[in-house]
Amino acid sequence: MDFRLPHSVPARWLTALGAVAAAAGAAVLALALAQPSLGLELGAADTAEAPPRVQQAHAGGSVMAVLAGLGNAQGLRMELRSDDLAPEPDTTFPAYPDYNRFLERQGEIAALLRSPEVTLYGTEGPLQTLVPSARSLGQLPWQFWLQLVVSVAGRVVGGLVWIFRQGDPASRYFALTGVGLYLSAGSATVYSTRELALATELFRTLHLANGLGSMLFCGAFVAVLLHYPTRLTRLGLGPLLVVLYLLLWGASAAQLFEGFDTALRVPVLLGFLATIALAAWQWLRVRQDLVLRAAFQWFLFAWFIGSGLFLLLVFVPALLGRDTGSAQAPSFALFLLIYLGIAFGIARYRLFDLGLWWFRAWVTVISVGSLVALDLALIAVLHVDRALALTVSLVAVGSLYLPLHAWLWRRLTGSEQRRDPIAVMQDMVLSANRGPAEAWTDTLRGLFQPLQVERLAQSPPHHRLADDGLSLELPADRLLPALRLRYAGNGRRLFSPHDVKTVRTLQMLCGRIFAYGEATRMGMEQERQRIARDMHDSLGGRLLTLLHLAPETLQPQIREALDDMRLTVNCLSSGGASLEEALGQWRAEVDERCDSAQVQLRWQQPEDGLDLQLEPETLLHLQRLLRELVSNALRHASPTLLQVRFALSGSALSFSVENDGCRLPPAAWKSGVGLKSIRYRMETLGGQVNCQEPAPGSVRQTCVLPLLPAPVDSEPSLPAATAPDLGELPKQPLGNPL
């Protein structure tokens, strides 16, 4: 059967559910308050045959030790026994004949309590005459309120699950368990907390409703595990299970068995064993699925802890012949544990695929219920004015609700363990030398701690959850690629709609930041191109003219100025070069200078890592460093051999210039413009320079500097300025460089 209604609106169903829950709770409360009361608080004696003890008398103010019987003015008298106070008759009287006699005695006592006046008898004669009246809220024991809360909570939780998942068979059967719990706990609320007796038919009806609720709860819960988290069989076993347990209840109501052990407790125990078998089967089906496994773990924990303890405390001892009626009312709190556990599981692990909004709806229901309950308690117990009681209730519930809600939200969503998005974005902005794609990926890793981050060949249309929250898909945006994040929190949690909102906002901000950075980079590139063109068009042409007009004595200096300008223009216009290209240009220049000075050159360079990209500024500094070191060797010594060695290890580049024919040892050198320039450039690059004397008359100057690769520009580059064509200049000895 399908309980769905077409085009149902959850808001209307929530309102209807609240009205039904309120009416159900009010019906139980009204029925309990309608029973006549003598204002007594009774306790059972040590034996069932002994009369009960009066622990407190609210009416008349007397305190009596023993209540042997009741009588009225018409001469009707009823002797009392301690088992007349049995809170759960099917555990005190498991056999049907004893149970029927108990109900008959309850009817006789209830009829006597409806008399205008009732006389209390002790073991030695009359004690006091009282006028029966309706019970008040203050006379209801705590067991009554506990069972009432459990019954209404089961109805509300089951109803909420069904409202938002009407098409899911598991949610329908889970809603039936809520109805069963309400029938079982709600009816027990009235008869188990009675003052002394109820009318026979009323007691029988309430007890039948208790049994109906127990059987409906058991059959529906077995059906839940047939369908959740996966459907184990296509056979329609769910309705058959519910019908089977309803038939067993009908047989029990007709007293076709020997007693309640066979008719009630054995089927419930068999149902519990069936849930264990089905749970094991379901576990084998979902053990490889992170989402279903996480949800099912929490579901099983709540179910088996609550129901298992209830059976151990109430059902199993009753089967062994012990009267566990007094333990039944407190044990109903275990069912509250089941439903609250499933509620928390829904919020954390999406049981029945409901999501975090379910938790918000449930907290709202609890807060409103707490407000009403506290208001009633202040009015009934403390006799506080209604307006003052409402004010106190609002303040108390508000002051507790807001911090508790915030704490639960952090715990359930795991938000307290996640990094602040603003802090993550600051780290991204302050980090340098990373492309937008790499920086964005690192930002997502820091924020969500996913186990996997993969690029998508096809961009999704929007930010969305996939695989029931296992994955979060992000569309491409300008410089940012389309990505899929999997297994958030290092595989400990699922992605949530809150994560979708966070990453959507963060990607918009990061995209603008990256676009601004890219625009800044392109502006700098255009400015470099403009400077290169200006140097080429004006300064280059004038130096060429000056070279042709100047005497021979000035031509070497002009040629060196042209070389410096050519280096600067090439660096500005090229936008960087690989280490292999740079070494080729540098070797050609050093070889030319050594030929002019008639000095032998030995050049060594690495074979691997030559594809390393160098930024323009780094290229300029390195070439001028090398030129200064070579100039020092040729100017301040009379070398016959010049050795230049380059080495690359990791992200560090080192090169040395060694020459013989040194006139002064390095310790006697004076710091001039050349040495100061070398130290300045090394400090700019973050490197170190040292000078050694490997052999008498030889000097080796070594520079070691860290290298960071220049970002590879995947976008179309701007047109490069054309460097002046200086390849046809007359090649003359350079002489002493400046």
Identify which has the larger pLDDT, 708 or 416.
708
Residue 725 token pair: 């064509």
Average pLDDT over residues 246-262: 91
pLDDT tens by residue, 548-564: 777 777 777 777 777 67
| Model pLDDT, residue 302 | 79
Respond yes or no on whether the N-terminal peptide bond of residue 421 is cis (omega within 30° of 0): no
pLDDT at residue 729 greater than cutoff 90: no
Q: Which residues are bridge partners to 70 per DSSP?
A: 78, 120
The rounded Cα 503 to chain-centroid distance in angstroms is: 14
Q: CA of 267: how far to CAs of 249, 273, 281, in Å?
A: 10, 10, 21
- The domain made up of 577-712 has a fold known as Heat Shock Protein 90 (3.30.565)
Res. 708: pLDDT tops 70? no
Name the 3-class secondary structure at 154.
helix
Q: Domain boundaries in the chain?
A: 36-134, 355-417, 421-519, 577-712
> How far apart, in Å, do the first and last CA atoms of the chain sit?
99
Q: Tokens for 343? A: 């509620």
pLDDT higher at 410 or 315: 315
Of 5-14, 188-197, 284-293, where does mean pLDDT reach its minimum?
5-14
| Chain segment 421-451, per-residue pLDDT in tens | 666 666 666 554 567 777 788 878 878 888 8
- Provide the CB-side half-sphere exposure for 78 (13 A, CA): 21
Which residues share a beta bridge with 658? Answer: 643, 700
Any idea of the CA torsion for 350, 356, 361, 362, to the nearest 10 degrees? 50
- The answer, yes or no, to whether residue 153 has pLDDT greater than 80, is yes
- At 711, the pLDDT band (50, 70, 90 cuts) reads very low
Q: What is the pLDDT of residue 279?
A: 87
Which of 365-369, 387-391, 614-618 holds the top average pLDDT?
614-618
Sign of CA dihedral 348, 349, 350, 351: negative
Which of the pair, 440 or 384, is modelled with greater confidence?
440
Strand ranges of the sheet holding 118-122, from the earlier edge strand across to the other edge = 77-79, 69-71, 118-122, 125-130
3-state secondary structure of 16: helix
pLDDT band at 3 (very low <50, low <70, confident <90, very high): very low
Highest mean pLDDT among 8-17, 273-282, 475-484, 607-616: 273-282
pLDDT band for position 471 (50/70/90)?
confident
Question: 271-285, 316-330, 473-487 — which is least confidently predicted?
Answer: 316-330
- Range 648-673 average pLDDT: 75
At 211, the pLDDT band (50, 70, 90 cuts) reads: very high
Q: Is the pLDDT of residue 138 over 70?
A: yes
Q: Is the pTM of this model over 0.85?
A: no
Please identify which residue in the block is written with the tokens 């099912």. Answer: 296
